Structure 1
Amino acid sequence: MTDEFDALKAGLKAAPAPRAAAREEALARAMAEFDKLEPLAQGSASALRPKSDRPARAGLVERLTDMIAGLKLRPILTASTSVAALGLVTLAVLPNLDLRALRGPAEVSRVLDEAQKEEAVATLAEEAVPAPAPEPAARKVATPNSGVMADAAMEPEALVVAAPEMAMMPEPGQVLAEPSTEAYANQAANPVKITAEEPVSTFSVDVDTASYAIVRNWLNSGTLPDPEAVRVEEMVNYFPYAYPAPDGAEAPFRPLVSVLPTPWNEGTQLVRIALQGRLPAVVDRPPLNLVWLIDTSGSMEDPAKLPLLKQSLGLMLADLRPEDQVAIVAYAGSAGEVLPPTPASDRAAILAAMDQLSAGGATAGGEGLELAYKLAQKMAAEGEVSRVLLATDGDFNVGISDPDGLEAYIARQRDSGVYLSVLGFGRGNLDDATMQALAQNGNGTASYIDTLQEARKVLVDQLSGALFPIADDVKIQVEWNPALVAEYRLIGYETRALMREDFNNDRVDAGEIGAGHQVTALYEITAPGSPALRNDPLRYGAGAAADSVAPASEGEELGFLRLRYKAPGEDQSQLIETPVLAGAEADEDARFAAAIAGFGQILRGSVYLGDWGWDQAIALAESGRGADPYGYRIEAINLMRLARDLAR
């Protein structure tokens, strides 16, 4: 690039001074070329999408605009299409231009047109040098979303020269990666709490599984995941466990407590708290009214998005009952009803409507949600369950587009009794934060689907649990006994934390449990006097701890577990209580859950694991693998091995 730049400067110096008439002619033609950019500059900013939503463009300037937006450079040296029409080779300097705020050709054109138009045109005319039009030359360019270099002809209308330190054109064989706009919802890991100071821990249950599938996708692509993408509780709750189901006369779910030595810390113990939801017979469940809200924006064109989405929802149809109903709403630049409420038995009509869907346009997610909720409310009847099933990459940018705004909107809508679940598809612009805001405030769950096998797990194997709720606003509160537990740490659930007073407040929203669903939570606890204590005893006051305390005897109360839940459609919660007893026997499931919790903490870079690492996590998972009828556990063990190799 330096040689080209030097050659250009030498050519400019050797060129004869332009004639006055030629200057005027060049100025007029340059102004005409700039005026051609006006339609782009006049475009609505609200309709803009990231370049993954727009078809590939042949023009060099447009491709450079994409590169500029993706690379987020500051000052650039470029030439406009007006140079091409004049058959010129020249340089236009755009000083102090901050491209971080620019997205797409319309924004760049606006800056060119409004801020630099007069100066740039004058500069072009001043520096005009007659030059023969270059012959088109084959070269490689990066195509949007593909990551593959494709042959294209260099347009004769423009030649761009950049300063050597900020070369913008790809070298031969170079792939320009699509800039990632992924955003994840997470918080810092829960700290160790001192029981004497804060004996009560309160959180909302969580049965989402999106994080595990996203982590798996990262690892299978050959990269360790972003630590922010790892939510340990979602990884633990991805797997089925053999928990005992509640009897018919009992509450809709049954708690189970067990205690085992902490694998990564010899001086502490793990307390597993598990809930098993009741799974009624299929014939006993109420009819389902499902509104499939499908993102058909341009960003969904990737094979791992809309095409996989169609296949995934098609799998669900075989397990729906004739009295269930399905409607389809699609949204892109605007939202519309694709299929009116239709009996699930009419598979031909449903599949035909889905086949008509194609990707293109902006993402009017807010408008789509409004239409879907209205349709679901019209479909609802006494004793039936209505649910919006949103399938998207989460990238809303028209209408209600920020997580806070979506959270408030969904919070208002859940009072109608319509549930909302979210299915995430694809990578690159996956907006996990938006998906979490929607699912948590819509009394639903969030899942991520990257393969047809995952679609079968979520939408077929777990169909009833994913769609039919048995308890709403489920909250867990544990009071630890300071005589036997000096410190404790809740592993995961950072985004589900509640204030202590929220537990008895029925107006505070919490998690939903579906039919047959399971919930697993893990606490690491430390006895007074243990060498594993992380906090020194207080010098003054009742918080001062003894030098040593005998381990809790079997049957002693380590703590007390309280659960609150509401029956679907009810406003008043009910309470379940049970003690957390020392010596409660652990099993293979507890060991495997501990191994997955360790897996997630390693990926997050936890400071609580000491020297415990990949080999120990793999060995623990293998010891708790058990029957593994679906192969989920051996898949996790293989992912651990892969992560270990990638981390070396």
Structure 2
Amino acid sequence: MMVSGSNSRSQNSPLLKIAAAISLLLITVSPAFAQYYLRGEVKDEKQNTLSNAKILLHSTRYVYYSGSSGSFGILSTRQNDSVTISLEGYQPVGVRLEAGKYQTIVLKMLYSSANLQRNRLVSFTRNMHPEDRNKRTITGETYSSLVENDFVSAKKYPETGCAIHTDKASYSNIRRFLGMNTQVPPDAVRIEELLNYFSFDYTPPPADSIFGFKSYLSDCPWNTQSRLLFLHASARKIDPDKIPPTNLVFLVDVSGSMDMPNRLPLLKSAFKLLVDNLREKDTVSIVVYGSTVGVWLTPTSGIEKDKIRRSIEELYPGGSTPGESGIRTAYRLAKSQYIKGGNNRVILATDGDFNVGQTSEEELEKMITQHQQSGIYLTCLGVGMGNYKDSKLEILAKKGNGNFAYLDNEKEAEKVLVKELTQTLYTVADDAFLNVWLNPAVIKEYRLIGFDNKVNALADSLSEVEGGEVGSGHSLLAMFELVPLSQSFDWGYAKDGLAKVFLSYKLPNDSVRRVTGYTAPVAYTEFMELPECYRFATSVSMFAGLLKNSPYMRNINWNDAAIMADESHNPQDAIQKEFISMIAKAKKIYGNKKKKKQSE
């Protein structure tokens, strides 16, 4: 009885009653706190994985993102939950996810983005099919393999075209190779970028125009049977008092590979030079990627120069190179500070050696294309040697509606970011390209000098000419080598002129395409009577052709290029004087190589 009585008292104790109540409560409410795992992956229509897709969970309104492999995993209190998945350049999609079931969600690309992802040509002549070649890798550096433009029949293919852009990276990169007493990879030589480096005879366009034109027809120094046609277009200069406010995001590679004097320290010097030109209405932010990815300097007015300089000076290198994450972070920040009608731009500074996340040129091209319609430009500044990825930075700049420069020293940084600041950062025309009709009544054959295409773009039947960004006051010089139908200079019977030029472009932040035209007259000028700058430009083309070992330049040598440059250069122009010294270095490097082969 005592045992029985004891049990009875135990069952009625306050502690047991509380425990029973808690158990009942847990049984009642536990379903509300159950956690389910919703899993899946995001792909495009070609079954390529899509990273960083935005996933909105409807039950909580929380936002998640797909990982680098396109996959995701979300904890939910519901066994079934709905989400909306979106990504720039793709149609958003709403789906219902079920716990325990791995689902693949396919996003369809918007038509405009599908168009943008096609391979783009620098120049285009119909039905040209060059042989396939591979991308070149030189001691860890990568360059897109180029196919030099060949002669084509003017009667069969009278129309050709080329993109206009302000890129100048090839010139300073060549200077770096020659400064190290080494030969230049042929695919690192982009002739149009060498010509861009100089400001040839800038002439302001008419007051009511964005572009002005002029042309010259003369002899060809490397082929007596040919003629040279110079087509010169000058872009309007922005009035300094009317330069719009600027939203700049410095995206700085601070990975371990940047820990060299000609990399991060050089970039820090470059950015501090740029800070001197900032105004109160300008905004600057800094995003870094390396051992971490994040916002180093929150948006700051350009008037706070000391604060910006301190942030730049405190940058330090270390870690891997998650370039993809850095680019995405920079674009998000630029969008958050977007200035309508202003100059919104990300400036990526790196050696281009991405090794975390999306690293291939195809993946990076696809990613940057998604931001192309955002109204945010991308300027790429390349530095370094040995693992410098020229091909990646070139793709990013062109797909990001921007420009591309290579900084080999502090003087070049000052040229790009101080002396030519408006050309580098302020755009007067977007998606600009030339379409040129060459008169078959007087021209037998022609070839465009420079503007050489990448192999993969030529192999793609859907390729289109990719227009470029034109900076304030840019002076473009396009050169054609022509083979006339007659060696006589009496071409006056060609009533349609020598060539008709149509320049197509859009104004910044405008979707309307505009076209301006020019007719090049059949007017011959003796080569020695040309303005000196055009003869100097010819020496630049000869120099580039020799570096590339062009089959079209086999009748000339380094002495020919040096003499022409010396006779036509402006003694007051330090850049032109430096070019003459570069020819001398190249002659020594390439001449020594030839002698060595002969002795063997």
What is the aligned partner in structure 2 of residue 386 from structure 1?
A: 344
Deviation at 1:314, TM superposition (A): 0.5
Tell me how far apart the structure 2 counterparts of residues 200 and 628 of structure 1 sit (CA, whole Å): 39
Structure 2 residue corresponding to 1:464, chosen from 398, 417, 422? 422
- Is the alpha carbon distance of 1:496 and 1:567 closer, same or farther for their aligned partners in structure 2, counting shifts above 3 Å? farther
Question: How do 1:145-294 and structure 2 match up within 5 A?
Answer: 180-250=139-209, 252-294=210-252
Deviation at 1:185, TM superposition (A): 2.0
For each residue in 1:28-85, what CA deviation from the matched residue of structure 2 results, as whole angstroms up to 9, or x when unmatched?
A: xxxxxxxxxxxxxxxxxxxxxxxxxxxxxxxxxxxxxxxxxxxxxxxxxxxxxxxxxx
Question: How do 1:153-552 and structure 2 match up within 5 A?
Answer: 180-250=139-209, 252-495=210-453, 509-530=466-487, 551-552=490-491
Tell me how far apart the structure 1 counterparts of residues 489 and 195 of structure 2 sit (CA, whole Å): 31
For each residue in 1:404-463, what CA deviation from the matched residue of structure 2 results, as whole angstroms up to 9, or x when unmatched?
A: 111122122020100001000110100001011001111111100011100010000110
Contact kept? 1:469, 1:515, Cα under 8 Å? yes
What is the aligned partner in structure 1 of residue 80 from structure 2?
A: none
Count of equivalent residues: 446
What is the aligned partner in structure 1 of residue 93 from structure 2?
A: none
Contact kept? 1:206, 1:496, Cα under 8 Å? no
- Is the alpha carbon distance of 1:589 and 1:554 closer, same or farther for their aligned partners in structure 2, counting shifts above 3 Å? farther
- Is the alpha carbon distance of 1:399 and 1:481 closer, same or farther for their aligned partners in structure 2, counting shifts above 3 Å? same
Contact kept? 1:257, 1:584, Cα under 8 Å? no
Q: Which blocks of at least 5 consecutive residues in structure 1 are unaligned?
A: 1-178, 531-548
Structure 1 residue corresponding to 2:577, chosen from 607, 628, 634? 634
* Letter in structure 1 aligned against 2:154: T
What is the aligned partner in structure 1 of residue 24 from structure 2?
A: none
What is the aligned partner in structure 1 of residue 547 from structure 2?
A: 603
What is the aligned partner in structure 2 of residue 617 from structure 1?
A: 561
What is the aligned partner in structure 1 of residue 95 from structure 2?
A: none
Contact kept? 2:164, 2:432, Cα under 8 Å? yes
Structure 2 residue corresponding to 1:575, chosen from 503, 508, 515? 515
Contact kept? 2:330, 2:346, Cα under 8 Å? yes
Tell me how far apart the structure 1 counterparts of residues 490 and 364 of structure 2 sit (CA, whole Å): 49
Tell me how far apart the structure 1 counterparts of residues 486 and 313 of structure 2 sit (CA, whole Å): 65
* Letter in structure 2 aligned against 1:587: P
Tell me how far apart the structure 1 counterparts of residues 211 and 271 of structure 2 sit (CA, whole Å): 28
Q: Which runs of 4+ in 1 moved over 4 A?
A: 496-499
Tell me how far apart the structure 2 counterparts of residues 477 and 397 of structure 1 sit (CA, whole Å): 39
Tell me how far apart the structure 1 counterparts of residues 385 and 493 of structure 2 sit (CA, whole Å): 49
Deviation at 1:346, TM superposition (A): 0.7
Deviation at 1:627, TM superposition (A): 4.9
Deviation at 1:553, TM superposition (A): 3.4
Contact kept? 1:186, 1:494, Cα under 8 Å? no
Contact kept? 2:214, 2:520, Cα under 8 Å? no
For each residue in 1:473-531, what CA deviation from the matched residue of structure 2 results, as whole angstroms up to 9, or x when unmatched?
A: 001111111111100010110138999xx99x9x974101011112111110010155x
Deviation at 1:247, TM superposition (A): 3.0
1:646 correspondence with 2:589 = yes
1:553 correspondence with 2:497 = no
Tell me how far apart the structure 2 counterparts of residues 347 and 496 of structure 1 sit (CA, whole Å): 42
Contact kept? 2:502, 2:516, Cα under 8 Å? yes
Contact kept? 1:189, 1:494, Cα under 8 Å? yes
Tell me how far apart the structure 1 counterparts of residues 415 and 465 of structure 2 sit (CA, whole Å): 31
What is the aligned partner in structure 2 of residue 153 from structure 1?
A: none
Greater relative contact order (CA < 8 Å, ≥ 6 in sequence):
2
Tell me how far apart the structure 1 counterparts of residues 336 and 466 of structure 2 sit (CA, whole Å): 24
For each residue in 1:245-267, what CA deviation from the matched residue of structure 2 results, as whole angstroms up to 9, or x when unmatched?
A: 113322x2212222221111112
Tell me how far apart the structure 1 counterparts of residues 357 and 303 of structure 2 sit (CA, whole Å): 35
Deviation at 1:195, TM superposition (A): 1.1
| Range with greater deviation from structure 2 (620-629 or 235-244) | 620-629
Tell me how far apart the structure 1 counterparts of residues 481 and 402 of structure 2 sit (CA, whole Å): 28
Larger relative strand fraction: 2
Contact kept? 1:554, 1:583, Cα under 8 Å? no
- Is the alpha carbon distance of 1:278 and 1:550 closer, same or farther for their aligned partners in structure 2, counting shifts above 3 Å? closer
Instruction: Please give the secondary structure, in 2, of the residue aligned with 1:414.
Output: coil
Contact kept? 2:218, 2:227, Cα under 8 Å? yes
Tell me how far apart the structure 1 counterparts of residues 294 and 197 of structure 2 sit (CA, whole Å): 34
For each residue in 1:328-375, what CA deviation from the matched residue of structure 2 results, as whole angstroms up to 9, or x when unmatched?
A: 000014410000110111111111111221111111000000010011
What is the aligned partner in structure 2 of residue 93 from structure 1?
A: none
Tell me how far apart the structure 2 counterparts of residues 613 and 386 of structure 1 sit (CA, whole Å): 46
Tell me how far apart the structure 2 counterparts of residues 494 and 628 of structure 1 sit (CA, whole Å): 32
Q: Which blocks of at least 5 consecutive residues in structure 2 are unaligned?
A: 1-137, 592-600
What is the aligned partner in structure 2 of residue 78 from structure 1?
A: none
Percentage identity across paired residues of the two chains: 33
Deviation at 1:229, TM superposition (A): 1.1
Deviation at 1:239, TM superposition (A): 0.9
Contact kept? 2:144, 2:454, Cα under 8 Å? no
Contact kept? 1:565, 1:575, Cα under 8 Å? yes
Deviation at 1:382, TM superposition (A): 2.1
What is the aligned partner in structure 1 of residue 594 from structure 2?
A: none
For each residue in 1:99-128, what CA deviation from the matched residue of structure 2 results, as whole angstroms up to 9, or x when unmatched?
A: xxxxxxxxxxxxxxxxxxxxxxxxxxxxxx
Tell me how far apart the structure 1 counterparts of residues 327 and 366 of structure 2 sit (CA, whole Å): 13
Contact kept? 2:448, 2:479, Cα under 8 Å? yes
Tell me how far apart the structure 1 counterparts of residues 184 and 493 of structure 2 sit (CA, whole Å): 41
What is the aligned partner in structure 2 of residue 160 from structure 1?
A: none
* Letter in structure 2 aligned against 1:524: E
What is the TM-score normalised by the length of structure 2? 0.72
